Amino acid sequence: MRCTVFGTGYLGATHAACMAELGHDVVGVDVDPGKVAKLSDGVAPFYEPGLEEVLRRNLAAGRLRFTTSYAEAAAHAQVHFLGVGTPQKRGEYAADLRHVHSVVDTLTPMLERPSVIVGKSTVPVGTAAALGARARASSATDVEVAWNPEFLREGFAVSDTLRPDRLVLGVDQGRDAAAWVEALIREIYAEPIAADVPFLLTDLATAELTKVSANAFLATKISFINAVSDVCEATGADVTVLADALGYDARIGRRFLDAGVGFGGGCLPKDIRAFMARAGELGADHAVAFLREVDHINTRRRTTVVDMAARACGGTLRGADVAVLGTAFKPESDDVRDSPALHVAGMIRLRGAEVTVYDPKALENSRRVFPTLNYATSVTEACEFADVVLVLTEWDEFTALRPQDLDQVVRVRSIIDGRNCLNRATWRAAGWVYAGLGTP
């Protein structure tokens, strides 16, 4: 089947490549010629394990191509996926929908046959219905808007697209074409549906809320265990053992119960803020008021780690040499958007320390955000003469570290485990001062 994907950022490029992998004839569209040129050469503009192999395989097979031409895309297919960014507005909590509106306003006048625009982007509830009216007002043919939210995890995006936990499709159930839209999307996802991936058909608002509710729940779970870790520190309890005990309860589960420096990235922080903003617009701000504290807990974790670093350096960071291992917001990603690790490194630098960072994949992105930090090309280089080492992203390269790897490199044998991912007994037995979050 033919389809297009508008936006070739993290979401759009992955979706385009994976739709081609499912056997469809796909055109990816972006206004950035540089991005289009890279993708056309089989080079992803970001790091995602396995994505470039999928890109190259489908480019070579002729099932995938990229363009800047909306006219070419409009003529190519009648199913158009919308995967552009919805960042947080500057100075506000609300989502910025300019890119979404721009795609719809540019595409719909070019459509010459009945078409469906299928939203993948995370948007405030009510956006899809408004876009449907907007699209029909500017098109000479029938246009439907549906919403098919993504649930990708960075680092697992290819497998999450090809074999998702669930497929959610929101349609305008008051429109005569709702059944036609459902049939088209079922055809596109025929392979995962045949593999027993659950397919849930909903109204537009439910589909939109499914995505933001999932992110709000995950953010709440992370902030919950981080709040409990503060109590553990005050009492001498061990939050890692406590989390294991909670995780055995099938109603709770162990995932997302790892105390640490908190969550970040391009989704959870901005999505819970947009959720709060939209709830306020709807007069339901009281219903999600707890998310404000979820956000505050998460932000405070960063200051907590900075304060731990200051204590490790004798009470002040001025003049200290600090090594930070990890700047991406999570392992298997080069994404530094709202990264706790990079934010902590920047705050330590602002307190007067000399900060040297290393990350296996995110150095280039980090340097663009914080050019005043020092950037190393290895763990050893980053830790040379360090007064304290901070592990802030749990890359395998860092969790595999042993005290003897750094004994002769650092100035002071002191380590802060911002992800509780190291064996503290091993480090302490080797004579290191080890500090974790919520651990004795």
Q: Which residues pair with 275 in a beta bridge?
A: none
pLDDT tens by residue, 156-167: 999 999 999 999
In order, the DSSP letters of 247-263 are HTSTTT-STT---SS--
pLDDT tens by residue, 14-25: 999 999 999 999
End-to-end distance of the chain based on CA atoms, in angstroms? 57
pLDDT tens by residue, 102-156: 999 999 999 999 999 999 999 999 999 999 999 999 998 999 999 999 999 999 9
CB-based contact 308:317 (threshold 8 Å): no
- Collapsed DSSP state (helix, strand, coil) of residue 85: coil
Residue 184: is its pLDDT beyond 90?
yes
CB-based contact 167:18 (threshold 8 Å): no
CA distances from 73 to 3, 66, 81, 109 (A): 8, 9, 11, 12
Tokens encoding 333: 């990603």
Q: For 154, phi and psi rounded to 5 degrees?
A: -60, 135
pLDDT of residue 154: 93
Distance (Å, whole) CA 122 – CA 186? 21
CB-based contact 84:104 (threshold 8 Å): no
The H-assigned helical ranges of 124-195 are: 127-137, 157-162, 178-188, 190-194
Report the percent of the chain where pLDDT is more than 90.
100
CB-based contact 60:51 (threshold 8 Å): no
pLDDT bin (cut points 50, 70, 90) of residue 290 is very high
pLDDT tens by residue, 244-281: 999 999 999 999 999 999 999 999 999 999 999 999 99
Pairing of strands 2-6, 79-82: parallel
Q: For 170, phi and psi rounded to 5 degrees?
A: -100, 130
Stated as kind and residue range, the H or E segment containing 171 is strand 167-171
Pairing of strands 2-6, 25-29: parallel
Domains of the chain: 2-197 (3.40.50.720), 202-440 (3.40.50.720)
pLDDT of residue 420: 97
Amino acid at 311: R
* Averaged pLDDT, 35-59: 97
Which residues are designated catalytic? 267
User: What count of residues does the chain have?
Assistant: 440
* Residue 433: alpha-carbon gap to chain centroid: 33
pLDDT of residue 140: 87
pLDDT tens by residue, 318-356: 999 999 999 999 999 999 999 999 999 999 999 999 999
Amino acid at 231: V
